[in-house]
Amino acid sequence: MSIAHSFFPYKILVSSSPFLFECWTTHSLQDLRQQAPIAAKVFVQRDYTSGTICQFQTKFPATLETRIDKQQFEDTIRKLNSLYAEAEKLGGRSYLEGCLACLTAYTVFLCMETHYEKVLKKIASYIQDQNDKIYAPRGLLLTDPIERGLRVVEITVFEDRSTGPGR
Amino acid sequence: MPGIVGKTFKPTTFIPVSSAATLLVGSTTLFFVFTCPWLTRTISPAVPLYNGIVFVFVLANFGMATFMDSGVFPRATEEEEDKEDDFRAPLYKNVEVKGIQVRMKWCASCRFYRPPRCSHCSVCDHCVEDFDHHCPWVNNCIGRRNYRYFFLFLLSLSIHMVGVFSFGLLFVMHHLERLEALQTTVTLAVMCVSGLFFIPVGGLTGFHMVLVVRGRTTNEQVTGKFKGGVNPFSRGCWGNTEYVLCSPLAPRYMVPPKKQPLISIQPPFLQPELSDGQMTFMFRDNGKSDAFWTKSKASLDVITLAPRPDFGEDCEPKPGLAESEGLSAQALFKYQAPFGSVSKVQYCAAGEQVTISGHHTASASLDGVPRDQDYFSEPDLDLPDCRNQLAPWALRSSLLQLDSCSLHSRSLSLRESHQYRDQLQALPCKPEDSAPHSSASTPGMLYSRNGSLSYDSLLHPSPNTLTMMDCLVHTGPPSLRCRLPFQPTNQLSAWLPELPCPVLVSRHSPHLKNPSPVCYDSLPKTVMASIQERRETEDERQLQVQSHFQPQPDPGVYHTPHLHSPHPGPCYSGGPGATKSQSPTPPIFGSRDSLIGFGGRVPQLHSSASRSSMTSETSATSMTSVHTDTSGSGAQAPAKPLH
């Protein structure tokens, strides 16, 4: 579980994680070699107008203009925003979690997943689903923002050979 | 406990945390062993139980504060950076948070613009979300994820100390006649330790209680970010407390990416349906689609040059006023051009509208853009979607930076302009909407970021300055001399002095090697050159204009004095002498790459790096937080952590 990592053994993992991360990245890039070449990457930035809550901008990037419908893109981003809002919601569930954690001297994190992590899993499956159904057929690939520290939604645009390079 | 992250192992970093842990555990153990038995017998077994529970709480929070990831951001990937820009990216980017301008600084080590409230810890060498401080007593950064545990640790430790001291005092009071006995001596020692350390711990606890209630971090408090201002991150006293204590535990970012099931992505790909007449031209995406840009430019040429039924009689060339109007309008239309990120700086002050008079005076309109379209660290240039907006569209501040080559190619969709015409006719001018608004007050200031747009060059075209008219005359086909889709009214004209944004007219000339004090994210060299060239002449005018329009220092503006300088601080003041200064006016801010002391990516541009100016206190308005380009000389160089 996640909290197990947050104790001392995790710290050692953190120290070597940049190196490991590169390995993982390389590995995933090798997987992509069988795919179409990457034409561009679009980064959808965070929307900070409401503070530090996790929201992404729904503005439609220019590069995707010829690749996907604006509405679909906005729907995806809005859904992501709503999921993140649900994850960060301050309510009964988060109170309960906090109280339980306090009472058990935080050992509950060893056995239980936090609310945020549960929603993150939901988000990951949503993104996977969107990729399968909508984005991959259009030569796009969404990257889970958690891999970028919830700073950007990275959309990889694959080269569409049928229309020529560089679109 | 970072201390071994990617660096040489420094045992000295563990001294404070070890001594803190030793003192805590040792003193409490002694208390339990020597003092508690008597207390149990005399008072109640609840005493050691209570103390035990509190001590467990202290230990748990201490452990969480020490070992928990504080919200570390992973380093940005290579692709996230704009490598294709010819010009140095700005050091700061502004973003509006609840109506208040907040500055995001470029982190040279982590290679991204730090989110609001994020700061880079030089000890741990990473950026931390909602960075509070680096605590040596737990040898860890205190950030978003572990601030609660740190705060609870302080609270519980204070309570524990009070408890230990009180019960120790009780014990000693009843054993005054046997002070030299072992138990009494030990209890006295424990009392001394707890009493002594209660002063700093209690003080720190009180300090953090105030911070929690006010919704500030230590970093913000110490650097005086909200001195006399409004904290945009505050949710009210109760909201702040609730947020600290009851918010869900934030996720870790430094996790290995999960192995995703492979999705096969092979062409042919589905294409979106384009509606008839949809000719919205989007330009430039993070500088990565130059090919697209080029191609679409050609297609745009074809499209825009053809007469359109939408304009109808408006397209009849009319000399004189109409022509200048049309040209001004064309200039307005073509604001976005390829100047990607520049256009990002748009400020949506409601009601500010375009004014275009018949005399080359053009100014930016800010209306119509949703407020959340503020600065993006990855600039994206596209035209406002007028189809969905009732207000006149917002023209970006880079509105009138024209590339003469692109004047005729980057026109807005004619459908949109037609729509705009209708809308504008329907909409009255709302001067009152431009009432002071922290973001509204700044847009004009921020225009300077995007270019020194000079009124005068439009009002009084100099022989050296090609006006839009000239540009268009040279490059625009007759069909471009369309009349404005809207008529400038007196009311609109009255707006003109309100707009602090002078207009720069680009010159159709090869780029010059003058340094550019203002930074753009992706401007063609020709435009940049013209901007450079005009800078000296426009500086005074700009200053005059700006001082006229400069609002009172916005107390709400969230600006960072350089008291708490991040690790690149030493780099600022040092400043290698490699950069050449060719501009008479040193730029206000450095570019992000100047943090690492390397030259810029553009060998052609050489600008002075005013590192000293970077440490100077700037005004609270965003204008001064506007970056200036200090691209130094040299080729593109990889970032090197400064620390």
Digit-coded pLDDT (tens) for B257-302: 777 677 777 777 777 776 555 554 544 445 444 444 444 444 444 4
Residue type, B374: D
| Residue numbers of B between 570 and 589 with CB closer than 8 Å to A | none
Tell me: ipTM over 0.95: no
Report the chain A residue with the minimal C-alpha distance to residue B5. A15
User: Closest to A52 (Cβ–Cβ): which among B117, B264, B284?
Assistant: B117
Task: Give B-chain residues touching A147 at CB under 8 angstroms.
Answer: 74, 257
Contact B1, B134 (CB under 8 A): no
Higher per-residue confidence, B453 vs B97: B97
Kindly tell me if the per-residue pLDDT of B453 is higher than 90.
Answer: no
Instruction: Specify the pairing of strand B92-97 against strand B100-107.
Output: antiparallel
Q: Is A49 on the interface with B (CB under 8 A)?
A: yes
* Whole-number pLDDT of residue B288: 47
Across the interface, whether the CB atoms of B75 and A166 are under 8 A apart is answered no
User: Residue range A64-83: average pLDDT?
Assistant: 91
Which burial class, exposed, middle or buried, applies to B232 when counting CB atoms under 10 A from its CB (0-12, 13-18, 19+)? buried
* Whole-number pLDDT of residue B265: 73
Q: Distance between CA B102 and CA B117 in Å, rounded?
A: 9
Percent of chain A with pLDDT over 90: 44
Closest CA to B222 of B136, B147, B133, B139: B133
The three-point CA angle B6-B8-B14 to 5° equals 100
Q: Distance between CA B300 and CA B480 in Å, rounded?
A: 13
* Whole-number pLDDT of residue B146: 92
User: Closest to A49 (Cβ–Cβ): which among B57, B98, B294?
Assistant: B98
- What predicted TM-score, i.e. pTM, was given to this entire model? 0.57
Question: Two tokens at B276?
Answer: 């008839």
Q: Which residues of B are catalytic?
A: 135
Digit-coded pLDDT (tens) for A13-29: 444 445 444 444 444 55
pLDDT band of residue A63 (cuts 50, 70, 90) is: confident
Across the interface, whether the CB atoms of A61 and B60 are under 8 A apart is answered no
User: Residue range B324-331: average pLDDT?
Assistant: 43
Averaging pLDDT over each range in B232-241, B517-526, B544-553, which range is the top one?
Answer: B232-241
Across the interface, whether the CB atoms of B372 and A47 are under 8 A apart is answered yes
Mean pLDDT, chain B, as a whole number? 63
Look at the alpha carbons of B157, B158, B161, B162 in this order and tell me if their dihedral is positive or negative. Answer: negative
Digit-coded pLDDT (tens) for B81-95: 765 554 567 888 889
Give chain B's length.
643
Report the chain A residue with the minimal C-alpha distance to residue B369. A59
**Dihedral angle, C-alpha B80, B82, B84, B90, nearest 10 °:** -170
**Dihedral angle, C-alpha B618, B624, B630, B636, nearest 10 °:** 110
Digit-coded pLDDT (tens) for B66-122: 999 999 999 988 777 765 554 567 888 889 999 888 889 999 889 899 999 999 999
The residues with which B591 forms a beta bridge, in sequence order, are: B90
Q: Is B250 on the interface with A (CB under 8 A)?
A: yes
User: Residue range B579-584: average pLDDT?
Assistant: 41
Q: Is A23 on the interface with B (CB under 8 A)?
A: no
* Whole-number pLDDT of residue B91: 85
Mean pLDDT, chain A, as a whole number? 80
Higher per-residue confidence, B86 vs B214: B214
* Whole-number pLDDT of residue B270: 78
Q: How far is CA A52 from the centre of its chain?
A: 17
User: Residue range A129-138: average pLDDT?
Assistant: 90
* Whole-number pLDDT of residue B363: 39
Q: Distance between CA B540 and CA B531 in Å, rounded?
A: 15
Please give the DSSP secondary-structure letter assigned to residue B631.
Answer: -
| Tokens 């929307």, residue located | A47
Question: Two tokens at B73?
Answer: 């951001």
Q: Is A74 on the interface with B (CB under 8 A)?
A: no
Give phi and psi for B414, each to the nearest 5.
-65, -30
Residue type, A94: S
Which burial class, exposed, middle or buried, applies to B21 when counting CB atoms under 10 A from its CB (0-12, 13-18, 19+)? middle
* Whole-number pLDDT of residue B545: 67
Task: Give A-chain residues touching B254 at CB under 8 angstroms.
Answer: 14, 17
* Whole-number pLDDT of residue B296: 41
User: Closest to A46 (Cβ–Cβ): which among B115, B269, B380?
Assistant: B115
Q: Which of A32, A52, A93, A117 would best serve as a mutation to test chain B binding (most B beta carbons within 10 A)?
A: A52
Q: Is A48 on the interface with B (CB under 8 A)?
A: yes
User: Closest to A7 (Cβ–Cβ): which among B67, B252, B282?
Assistant: B67
